[in-house]
Structure 1
């Protein structure tokens, strides 16, 4: 393994925090490294020059922090493992399937290889199912996702960890949005040198344009990866703002990410925004009393301002409006008939075929390339793995808890930690929306694991007395204010 300049910096900071920092400091280092989506911390010449991303590399130091002789977190790791038990079962079953299923079901189905070993003739080239190095690669990422959840759960046990995580999210949102805009606006200037220094991984780095406009990629490998990362943090920060968690910071940061997503020209971003918009609309329709009046007025004002801006642009610059309408139409309505859309649909169907060809067992993570997390999960881990993942998602999201849906008025009785945890639950659920149409594997990713762990950890802390009473009724009773001293 050969460290890159980025890996060397991470190693120095990681070793320092191992002895001088706590688990929350280690988690913040890992989350900061997720901003480097197109970077490599190390190169592995023995594996064909494969790259080790910065976040998993930093995660190694976080795990090492747990094992230090003077660490008090090792005993608490059992609780973190129990909290992430269903996710661990999902990953371990994936390891078992990746080890045995490709050999057991060899040649029984044609699949699209995760990594092509020769020239491709068409968009629909397939190969017979067989074991491959990608089975190992994807299972390692799966285990890393579980470790990220364990580290995040442990970090949330520290005093004030929830608020520190929100503040870190705000900083990351501004950095991510700024890098995306600068990389696009300053394309062809010396700023490209900085981008090239940071995008040092052995991935296919794409610099795409759409109708003469440079698409937003920042320092990520492609637009879909860039907006996928932005979308998860957008949901988390907006949910925090709706619950009055540092509203003067989370609100503007969420707005910045929303603008980046809107102007990204990515179908992944529009699908995510549309899906989340429907979810928020249903929540407001079924329980409008949970939205603070000021929040409602702010959202309405933002929508009105956007409408006025669009009308002004239509009057002052008609060509721009025509361009944006064309991009939106091509990225949404016409997407399914495009070459890329047809290819993605073909890849997604392979997961369904693999599920039935393996009799619901799964042919193992890394055995085929998909274009949907859902079909990748079904085809790779079968019925057992899919049920385990859904159990973890339900446990983190807690759909029957009042705190999942309530706004700032009732949220004050539950406490800040519970509200941050609820925001994490919504983020964990919503990051799966873009993943459902772009993810090539069954790995939900470290962001999902961290957001889910935030919910699991912070919502398991002791509640105020009034909040404990409020949790007993069904969600429908949330329409009536809970007395401050009921009991």
Structure 2
């Protein structure tokens, strides 16, 4: 096992939060998701597979919340008929497929999978279906997603407010912008090596690429598309806050700047996720603007719908050269994507994944056995039709969950939960475009746990456990934090 510097720092912070108020554990957990290319350590026994900083801190996060609340609130998070029940069901089924399917269906299909070779390097190859270390690593990530969801549910249900989550996402947005700027500055100044301390994962690092004359921003992530996907989630969350007039000045400035860096990342994945977010927020705002008490920003929405076509027309008439350059740029990052080597390679991944789905009679090859370039095909080729259906039931139960008693758009927690839903839409849209593995990242499960905590009623068991859990929490909290409650 090779421990990285950030891994040592993470372990020190993890031990420290065990003796700190629970709010510290939640804050660090959320902020750690920014380090998407930072390995805490690598496991030589699994071919050099990297354990990322957020995944390592998740252990301490769960342990700290368990010390405060016990198992009651955590089990309540996955009790039927809550959305967490479907995630629990999916995770148990996915773990079973990882153990049994590669053995029961061995050799019956060919799959694209990661082959780990010497010196910690890896490559993606088409091989006959067989058990591999990927079944283990993806099973651990799936279990981590469930744990993150359940403990986030437990924490936010006990705190009873999403205000801290909103503040942390705003901080994340600012930090993401700072790292994006540093990425560009260090690249052009020849100091890109400074990012070597936070890009330690055993991934293919495509951090020095250019497209259409622009440096493809990758920030703290291994490539521009991963950066764009994460940035799209932050943009969706913060833009939703701005539309609902939550910290309008801060959220408006951050949303605008995140939109700029998202476009400058020149990522097809990011642009398509951005389209999905705009459509989602636009439809939601249009629906909320109808009635006696309109919510959102109906004037801005109407101005955008009416003014955008006029702006495009004026640009075409007055600046035809700029239009030509924009079209060349869009052709390179969007329209010609399928004709590129990367596009053809990813199309082959999808074709192989779909064939694996067919060759296994719709059961899937087992979690971790197959890669694709679309999350839908990842689900079908790994956990089959049944697992895919369960996942979309889980996602739908989160997305269409009922608002709190304050009413849609009226209560501050409901507005933040609406923002979390926008982030989930962005995360899934990005994955559907170019997701290669089952794991959606801990940010996805943090947001899902937040929505579930605010939009589902407290069970009788949870109510009975609340006084004891509150006493435990208060004993661990600092005086200033107790006063805030």
Q: Shared fold (TM-score greater than 0.5)?
A: yes
- Asked whether the equivalents of residues 37 and 220 of structure 1 are also in contact (C-alpha less than 8 Å), the reply is yes
Equivalent pairs, count: 448
- Asked whether the equivalents of residues 364 and 380 of structure 1 are also in contact (C-alpha less than 8 Å), the reply is yes
Of residues 367, 376, 383 in structure 2, which corresponds to 1:365? 367
Say which is worse superposed, 297-306 or 382-391, in terms of deviation: 297-306
**Structure-2 change in CA distance of 1:445 and 1:171 (3 Å):** same
Measured against aligned partners, the alpha-carbon deviations of 1:143-193 in whole angstroms (never above 9, x if no partner) come to 111111112112212436411110100010111122113212331426423
**Structure-2 change in CA distance of 1:294 and 1:354 (3 Å):** closer
The residue aligned with 1:107 is 107
The residue aligned with 1:76 is 73
Secondary structure in structure 2 of the residue aligned to 1:427: helix
State the alpha-carbon separation in 1 of the partners of residues 316 and 171 from structure 2.
31
Aligned pair 1:425/2:424, yes or no?
Answer: no
State the alpha-carbon separation in 2 of the partners of residues 333 and 350 from structure 1.
23
The residue aligned with 1:228 is 229
**Structure-2 change in CA distance of 1:293 and 1:440 (3 Å):** closer
Measured against aligned partners, the alpha-carbon deviations of 1:184-213 in whole angstroms (never above 9, x if no partner) come to 233142642321222122222112111332
Structure 2 spans left out of the alignment, 5+ residues: 459-485
Q: How many Å apart are 1:116 and its aligned residue?
A: 6.0
Q: How many Å apart are 1:287 and its aligned residue?
A: 5.5
Aligned pair 1:169/2:169, yes or no?
Answer: yes
Of residues 424, 440, 454 in structure 2, which corresponds to 1:458? 454
The residue aligned with 2:480 is none
Say which is worse superposed, 328-337 or 55-64, in terms of deviation: 328-337
State the alpha-carbon separation in 1 of the partners of residues 6 and 357 from structure 2.
40
The residue aligned with 1:379 is 381
Q: How many Å apart are 1:134 and its aligned residue?
A: 0.7
- What TM-score does the superposition give when structure 2 sets the normalisation length? 0.84
- What TM-score does the superposition give when structure 1 sets the normalisation length? 0.83
State the alpha-carbon separation in 1 of the partners of residues 244 and 112 from structure 2.
44
State the alpha-carbon separation in 1 of the partners of residues 382 and 434 from structure 2.
16
Matches within 5 A, 1:81-100: 81-82=78-79, 83=82, 84-100=84-100
The residue aligned with 1:30 is 29
The residue aligned with 2:259 is 258
**Structure-2 change in CA distance of 1:351 and 1:183 (3 Å):** same
The residue aligned with 2:430 is 434
- Asked whether the equivalents of residues 292 and 409 of structure 1 are also in contact (C-alpha less than 8 Å), the reply is no
The residue aligned with 2:242 is 241
State the alpha-carbon separation in 2 of the partners of residues 6 and 216 from structure 1.
22
State the alpha-carbon separation in 1 of the partners of residues 65 and 295 from structure 2.
45
Q: How many Å apart are 1:234 and its aligned residue?
A: 1.2
The residue aligned with 1:465 is none
- Asked whether the equivalents of residues 183 and 191 of structure 1 are also in contact (C-alpha less than 8 Å), the reply is no
Measured against aligned partners, the alpha-carbon deviations of 1:80-138 in whole angstroms (never above 9, x if no partner) come to 232422112111111111111111111111221223659xxxx9952211111111111
The residue aligned with 1:45 is 44
Structure 1 spans left out of the alignment, 5+ residues: 463-487
The residue aligned with 2:18 is 18
